[in-house]
């Protein structure tokens, strides 16, 4: 695996691969890699000749009071994991390589509507930061395929919309959420949890599963929502949101919804955890 930190070097190297008619798949990350990330890498390998992974903790997607400074940076361990997965190129740009001008002057990409619900309303500007960096990385790497995790369901929907609306020549592939044995969605932020919080954290997935089966059994949507919120609060979570939305539009679920998604964001102490569950069939309660 070759680690490259400059845009021009990466582009020259990838140009040579393209001249040999190699296809490229791309996995953008913020590093501190876990099995969830590595499952994306494995999927990327199945879809193209060359795999490019990026590690960039993007300041544009962090709010003023968020964890940008303490976000775990573990480049050496990440490099080892990626080399073991036979990744071809790791792109590790510094902030001034990606944003050479003042961030306030940076052109941004904004996906309206989809970015306004759920995490969008509690983290203003977050998704504009995500779409801006992803668009920029897409233009740098010019991959055929990019892999994103369903763990960040809203992010995936927003990126798909950006690709469609801006006619970006790339195919987006979704990877299922990688989970710990107790069901907790793997996340770089899980390591902020102390031992007791880590045990409690699996309640999020349990709540999603039981809310999903209640909906499938025809229980009323508001009652299901209240039960889930009550349970999470009893375990000490401070709810950011628990929403049941249309999986296509991310708007509140309605009688036309074909597929619904349950989305949770909740704090345990200072750690914000997110998870989701998609229900393919229209629940009987609608």
Binding of ligand AMP at residue 271 (CB under 6 A)?
no
The 120-159 site mask, x for binding ligand AMP (CB under 6 A), equals ----------------------------xx-xx-------
- CB nearer ligand AMP, residue 206 or residue 219: 206
- Please say if 47 is a catalytic residue: no
**Which positions from 38 to 77 touch ligand AMP by CB under 6 A, shown as an x/- string?**
-xx-------------------------------------
Sole binder of ligand AMP in the list 37, 81, 136, 277 (CB under 6 A): 37
Euclidean distance between CA atoms 278 and 137, whole angstroms: 28
Neighbours of 62 (CB within 10 A): 18
d(Cα 238, Cα 266) in Å, to the nearest integer? 6
Among the residue ranges 3-11, 84-92, 178-186, 220-228, the one whose residues contact ligand AMP (CB under 6 A): 178-186
Structure tokens at 215: 């909906």
Contact between residue 249 and residue 111 where contact means Cβ atoms under 8 Å apart: no
Select which of 34, 37, 47, 126 is catalytic.
37
CA dist 94 and 226 (Å) reads 45
The DSSP element (H or E) to which 138 belongs, if any, is helix 126-141
Smallest Cα–Cα separation from 24: which of 48, 55, 54?
A: 48
Would you tell me which residues interact with ligand AMP (CB under 6 A)?
Answer: 29-30, 36-37, 39-40, 148-149, 151-152, 175, 177-178, 185-188
């Amino acid at each position: 695996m070759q680690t490259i930190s400059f845009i021009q070097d990466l582009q020259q190297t990838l140009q040579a691969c393209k001249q040999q008619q190699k296809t490229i798949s791309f996995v953008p990350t913020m590093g501190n890699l876990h099995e969830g990330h590595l499952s994306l890498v494995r999927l990327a390998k199945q879809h193209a000749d060359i795999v490019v992974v990026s590690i960039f903790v993007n300041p544009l997607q962090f709010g003023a009071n968020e964890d940008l400074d303490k976000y775990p940076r573990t480049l050496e361990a990440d490099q080892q994991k990626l080399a073991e997965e036979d990744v071809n190129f790791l792109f590790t740009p510094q902030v001034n390589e990606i944003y050479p001008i003042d961030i306030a002057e940076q052109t941004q990409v904004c996906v309206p509507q989809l970015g306004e619900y759920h995490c969008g309303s509690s983290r203003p500007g977050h998704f504009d930061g995500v779409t801006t960096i992803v668009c920029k990385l897409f233009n740098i790497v010019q991959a055929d395929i990019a892999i994103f995790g369903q763990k960040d369901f809203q992010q995936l929907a927003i990126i798909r919309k950006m690709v469609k609306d801006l006619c970006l020549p790339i195919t987006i592939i979704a990877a299922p959420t990688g989970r710990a044995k107790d069901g907790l969605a793997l996340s770089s932020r899980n390591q902020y949890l102390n031992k007791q919080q880590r045990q409690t954290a699996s309640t999020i997935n349990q709540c999603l599963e039981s809310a999903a089966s209640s909906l499938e059994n025809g229980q009323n949507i508001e009652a299901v929502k209240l039960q889930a919120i009550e349970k999470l609060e009893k375990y000490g979570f401070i709810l950011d949101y628990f929403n049941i939305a249309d999986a296509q539009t991310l708007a509140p679920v309605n009688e036309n919804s074909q597929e619904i998604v349950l989305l949770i964001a909740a704090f345990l102490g200072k750690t914000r955890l997110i998870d989701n569950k998609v229900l393919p069939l229209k629940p009987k309660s609608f």
